[in-house]
Chains A and B, each alone.
Chain A
Amino acid sequence: MNAPSTHPAPAATEKADDIILEVRGLKTYFPVKKGIWRRVVGHVKAVDGVDLTLRRGETLGLVGESGCGKTTLGRSIIRLIEPTAGSIHFHHGGERIDLMQLGRGEMRRLRRELQYIFQDPFSSLNPWMNVFDIVSEPLVVNRVASGSELRGRVESLIRRVGLKPDHLRRYPYAFSGGQRQRIGIARALALNPSLIIADEPVSALDVSVQAQILNLLEELQDEFNLTYIFVAHDLSVVEHISDRVAVMYLGEIVETAESGELYRNPSHPYTAALLSAVLDPDPDRRPERPRMKGIVPDPADAPPGCKFHTRCLYAEPHCAREVPVLREVAPGHESKACASCLERMRAEATGRAAEGVESASDRAEDVPHVSPAPLAAPVEDADNSPSNEGKQ
């Protein structure tokens, strides 16, 4: 895949028209019920009008703080959670299918193409089933294979994700987090899907294991021609693996851009704040980038106007009234920031550039360093690694 600082490969641009998924105006509201009569007193607008377009073979990174609706969006796209409104068009076999119009049975059949990797490698594997039953379940329920063919396919899947066939009769508790996530990946891969939504697949893992799982996902993408929506709360993980990044805040996409562009030229105060949080482990140097105040507001009671105005350092009175729209700030780069805040961000960026050559070069170097440190350490928790097994 793309090295952190390069532009997306030309191939991706050529295939620009080869759309696989179009999400338009997607909303998922959860009713908030109160009192003994369980009356609906409001809604958590977990996903509130999201537009996304995915090209075949690309990786879209989806970033935002915890609670901003990433999981809900990912699950709504494959209707694991029923969306409230909007359309989801999936291009499959030359057809453009609106997932929202499908019945339960049709949706179930189409799920073969749309798979999901869970954030929590512990709760997502049924503790009462052994690995063979877990990985073979998609093949069994879709009647894809049975008997020795099933066995063979499951074995090759489990090998492909870096485990061994004799792990198959073990139960999930016997594996480490990284190994469990590999099992989850094998399960998602079983039906040979075209789109995989990976919901923070590495956030529950040790730093040293994260890189291995990310590399595995990248290899699999090339090998099986997969399209990914890769969710993370941390920009550093996403940058490494994504072609494009969408930044999410309180149920809305506030900025999308090619990943290099986003890091070089963040055009929404929220993106800039997220970046400042990951860029620099040294607190003395961090304040040079804009930050934000406070914490994510209750999504059941989202602020009016620009939803970010309660935390934005550039907020002005009009921000609380006017709802900004997603506008193109550069080719392929859209942001929901209003004109005035864009201006102030630019001014600050130039101001900083003028401050001195030294600090400017510091910042320029920051960008490549974004890629997570863990990439260096390709050892999976030694106590449980497959290669260690013969020794006991």
Chain B
Amino acid sequence: MTENPTLVQRLTDLGRRALGMRRRLPSAPPPPAERKKYKGYSQWRLVWRRFLRNRAGVAGGVVILFIAFCVFFAEFLSPHHVNTRYNEYTHMPPQRVHIFSADGIHLPFVYAIRGYVDPETGLRKYVEDRSTRHTIRFFTRGDTYSFYGIFESDIRFIGAGQGNPFFLLGTDRFGRDLLSRILVGGRVSFTVGLLAVFLSLTLGTMMGMISGYYGGVIDNFVQRTIEVIYSFPSIPILMALSALLPPHWPGYLTFMGIVTVLALVGWGGLAREIRGKTLAIRDSDFVLAARVAGAKDGRIIFRHVLPAMSSHVIVITTLAIPSFILSESTLSFLGLGIKPPMTSWGLLLSDAMNIYVLALYPWLLFPGLCILITVLAFNFLGDGIRDATAPFGH
């Protein structure tokens, strides 16, 4: 993950500039007035109050909550089944939603679509068939799906009647609905990021804290191990490791395999950060004070070092998720990650791999836009939390 943070950071800065937001510098300790006003509040409440004042951070958080909601209810929200092929609608561009027609105003609707082959170019073209309107309906019947194996249902959030063309973000070369695929694939990308961060955080926190707190030989060993991992460029080593996953594995095993590979390569960075912070806290006066009070190592670690580190951990976790998402996308894009029939943003993006496809079917870039937005949102959120914790983190 060594090269990703710079890329991610650059994207974040770009995004910030685009939105006209300046990076907020961590502010000074609270002024006396504020000290007085909030004096009964715990650190967490203070951090929360500060965070709420950071527009970019809050925006990032809201976007992430929205994305999380969407990918969690992906099947319900998507108009079609991810793998249903509409052979007569391949590579169809995003469809327009209308409320006006020749005979007046209606509820939002789409026209029926007629496809034909352009005699000059030999490509498929689509025109709206203005004689047939399909009204957009909510909580309507569509393809059957299973909600995490808990129950089956054919009620979908949105649709224009079963079997009717309704492709708000267009279709891919098999005539599959891109919006549905983005929603379901997003769940894979999102959960890969979360799980990989969870795994590498567990590993990284343990190794980092042990390394920092006890120092000496243990520290040396852990640090050298991390250096060895980091002495390889991350993308090739990720590719090599994921190439080891057996191709005949079922989807969920490949998924877990990718998560493991990402975590194995990525824990070092987290461990290093945690180690640095542990070192600083271990030698801080309040830990010495606990020692003077007679506290043992266990209490010092759990009552003093961990809480003091928690905000830092949250920040580095939030900032690490996007790089895991990017790595997964990279792997899947290169065909070494998630395998069909499962899909992910990276895999979807691989459909737009060549310039010819891109020029003809630019809507295939939508998954890329999703990656970009998610990555930026996580970075805004992470920066927001960091700024919010900085002044009180002593």
Contacts and interface: CB of A to CB of B under 8 A. Distances in A.
Interface of A: 75, 78, 80, 108-109, 111-112, 114-116, 118, 120, 122-130, 137-138, 141-142, 169-171, 173-174, 184, 187-188, 190-191, 383-384, 392
A78 B292 CA distance: 8
B151 interface: no
B394 A141 contact: no
Interface string B258-294: 0000000000000000000000000011101111111
Given A111-B291, A123-B284, A171-B43, 11 more contacts: A115-B292, A118-B285, A127-B308, A128-B43, A128-B307, A137-B290, A141-B296, A142-B293, A173-B46, A174-B40, A384-B36
B292 A127 contact: no
Nearest to A190: B293
Which interface residue of A127, A173, A383, A392 has the most chain B CB atoms within 10 A?
Answer: A173
Given A122-B394, A127-B392, A127-B394, A141 B299 contact: yes
Interface residues of B, number: 32
A109 to B, nearest CB: 7
B43 A127 contact: yes
A120 B38 CA distance: 23
SS class, residues of chain B in contact with chain A: helix
A108 B294 contact: yes
Contacts of B29: 173
A127 B389 CA distance: 12
B385 to A, nearest CB: 16
Contacts of B307: 126, 128-129
A173 B30 contact: yes
Nearest to B295: A141
Nearest to A122: B394
B297 to A, nearest CB: 10
B391 to A, nearest CB: 9
A383 B293 contact: no
A75 B291 CA distance: 11
Interface in B208-223: none
A116 B35 CA distance: 27
Contact of A141 (B41, B288, B294, B308): B294
10 contacts: A80-B288, A80-B291, A123-B394, A124-B286, A128-B307, A138-B293, A171-B39, A173-B30, A174-B35, A383-B36
Which interface residue of B29, B30, B36, B299 has the most chain A CB atoms within 10 A?
Answer: B36
B296 A116 contact: no
B294 A118 contact: no
Which interface residue of A112, A124, A392 has the most chain B CB atoms within 10 A?
Answer: A124
B304 interface: yes
Contacts of B40: 169-171, 174
A6 B288 CA distance: 37
Contact of B286 (A111, A112, A125, A130): A125
A229 to B, nearest CB: 14
B32 interface: yes
A128 B289 CA distance: 14
Interface string B287-327: 01111111110010001100110000000000000000000
B258 to A, nearest CB: 35
A203 to B, nearest CB: 14
Given A111-B294, A118-B288, A170 B392 contact: no
A132 B139 CA distance: 55
Ranked nearest first, the 3 interchain pairs of A and B with the lowest CB-CB distance are: A174-B39, A124-B285, A138-B293
Contacts of A128: 42-43, 307-308
Contacts of A187: 289, 293
Interface string B11-43: 000000000000000000110100110111111
Contacts of B392: 127, 173
A112 B39 contact: no
A333 B394 CA distance: 43
Contact of A171 (B42, B289, B294): B42
B393 interface: yes
A174 B30 CA distance: 9
A202 to B, nearest CB: 16
Contacts of B41: 171
A118 B308 CA distance: 19
A118 B288 CA distance: 9
Contacts of A184: 289
A114 B292 CA distance: 8
A123 B284 CA distance: 7
A27 B394 CA distance: 32
Nearest to B29: A173
Contacts of A126: 286, 289-290, 304, 307-308
Which interface residue of B35, B284, B288, B294 has the most chain A CB atoms within 10 A?
Answer: B294
Nearest to B284: A123
Contacts of A188: 292
Contacts of B290: 126, 137, 141
Given A127-B43, A128-B307, A137 B35 contact: no
A383 B293 CA distance: 31
B220 to A, nearest CB: 8
Contacts of B38: 174
Contacts of B288: 75, 80, 116, 118, 124
